[in-house]
Structures are given as C-alpha cells and as structure tokens.
C-alpha cells in the first residue's frame, strides 16, 4: 500500500481556469501527460524543480499551487 | 502507457516466459540422472540471450504500435520514470545481494557448480521479476 502524501495541490483547478489541456501543460513543463495526471491526482510528488516549473507555468508562487497542512 | 512502462512490461513478459521454459528444458534433460549432471550452461546462456532479445524486440514492436497513436510520446521519459526506475532498482539490488550471499553460502559448503550457477540465475530472474512488478505498481498506484 502506497503511503499517501499530505501535500495537496490545485493544479487541475488552475489548469482548467487557464483553459489548458493536460497535454498542453505537460508539454510546457517537459513531462509526459501521464506524469501530470499522477501529480494532479496526488499519486506522485513532484520534485522541487518540477514544482517550480509548474508554478512558473501559471505565473504564481509555489505556495499558491501546493498546500501542506498545519501541525 | 508511457515508454518506460512499456519497456518494463516487455521485460516482465520476457522473464515470465523464458524462466519457466528454462526450468522445463533443464528438467527434460534429467531423465533419471542426477540433476547436477545436466549440461545447464548452453541452456542458461540461451535463456539469458533469448530474454534480452525478446525484451528488446517486444519493446521496439510495442513502441512502433504506440508511435502510431502518439508519435511524440512514444520514446519520451521524464523525472517520474527516473524516480520509479530508481525505486525498482533499489528492490532489485536488495534481492541480488541476497542471491549473492546465497551463492557465497553454497560455495562455502562446497555445493556443485550447478547449484551455484542456478542460484545466481534464480537471483537475476527473481530480482528482475520483482523489480518490474514494483515499478508497475508504482505506475498504477502512485509514487509519493
């Protein structure tokens, strides 16, 4: 059983707001569509570098896209 | 399915077919004689060669078919593929260490070279098989 991550993200909402398809965004950040799907569904925690790339694609800060619960 | 996942499936399928065939061919040669008298080396070399060739051919054919639907994605891999590959590699490495220790133990007790070679061969096969399964689970269920 895979341990679920506590990190959540709002990439899908941002992407739909920007009217981008998964393929569009995946192409912009240099990953496969399957990887973007896994990130959106919380099945893959992106590297810090990839997280910055995604945030930059939406022109927002990393905190605006990824959330981690308070203690 | 991404390029790297297809290659893992190709490896898994080739291993799953070739290893049982190897065991069957070896057992057919026994014919009432001791197992250690079987000429195992040519069969083992053929099994290794065929599994490598089958993995490559299967990967290429599958890639050609996939490229018809998605030409750009047919040979693309990314950071997630590398992360999953590293995780599978760690499992494989652990199993190979166990197999290596088993081989040392067999050498220590003076086991026949048949058992020593086949223990290592089994180690390669099991580590490849389990490592591939672990990677495929990571692709399907996630890696966080």
pLDDT tens for residues B36-61? Answer: 999 999 999 999 999 999 999 999 99
DSSP state of B38: S
Task: Provide the b/e sequence for A15-40 (b: ≥16 CB within 10 Å).
Answer: beeeebebeebbeebebbbbbbebbb
Q: Which residues contact A16 (CB under 8 A, 6 or more apart)?
A: none
Give pLDDT, residue B144: 74
Interface residues of A toward B, Cβ cutoff 8 Å, are: 2-5, 30-35, 38, 41-47, 49-50
ipTM of the shown complex: 0.83
Give pLDDT, residue B77: 86
Contacts of A3 in chain B (CB under 8 A): 144
Look at residue A3 and tell me whether its pLDDT is greater than 70: no
Angle between helices B113-141 and B40-69 (to 10 degrees): 20
Distance of alpha carbon A42 from the chain centroid: 9
pLDDT tens for residues B104-135? Answer: 999 999 999 999 999 999 999 999 999 999 99
Residue A13: C-alpha distances to residues A10, A30, A64, B119, B143 (Å): 5, 20, 11, 53, 22
| Residue whose tokens read 């089994």 | B122
Note whether B144 contacts A30, CB cutoff 8 Å: no
Q: Is B141 on the interface with A (CB under 8 A)?
A: yes
* Pairwise CA distance, residues B32 & B16, whole Å: 27
Q: Is B82 on the interface with A (CB under 8 A)?
A: no
pLDDT tens for residues B65-78? Answer: 888 887 776 778 89
pLDDT tens for residues A26-63? Answer: 999 999 999 999 999 999 999 999 999 999 999 999 99
CA dihedral B69, A26, B88, A66 (to 10 degrees): -150
């Amino acid at each position: 059983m895979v341990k679920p991550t506590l990190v959540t993200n709002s990439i899908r909402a941002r992407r739909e707001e920007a009217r981008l398809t998964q393929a569009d965004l995946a192409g912009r950040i240099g990953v496969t569509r399957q990887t973007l799907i896994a990130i959106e569904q919380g099945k893959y925690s992106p590297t810090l570098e990839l997280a910055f790339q995604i945030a930059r694609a939406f022109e927002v800060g990393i905190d605006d896209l990824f959330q981690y619960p308070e203690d | 399915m991404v390029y790297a996942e297809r290659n893992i499936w190709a490896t898994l399928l080739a291993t799953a077919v070739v290893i049982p065939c190897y065991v069957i061919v070896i057992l057919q040669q026994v014919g009432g004689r001791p197992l250690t008298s079987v000429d195992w080396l040519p069969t083992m070399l053929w099994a290794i060669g065929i599994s490598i060739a089958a993995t490559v051919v299967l990967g290429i054919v599958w890639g050609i078919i996939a490229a018809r639907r998605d030409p750009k994605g047919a040979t693309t891999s990314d950071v997630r593929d590398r992360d999953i590959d590293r995780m599978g590699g760690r499992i494989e490495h652990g199993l190979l260490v166990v197999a290596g220790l088993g081989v040392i133990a067999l050498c220590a007790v003076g086991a026949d070279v048949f058992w020593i070679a086949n223990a290592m061969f089994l180690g390669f096969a099991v580590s490849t098989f389990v490592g591939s399964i672990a990677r495929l689970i990571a692709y399907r269920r996630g890696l966080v």
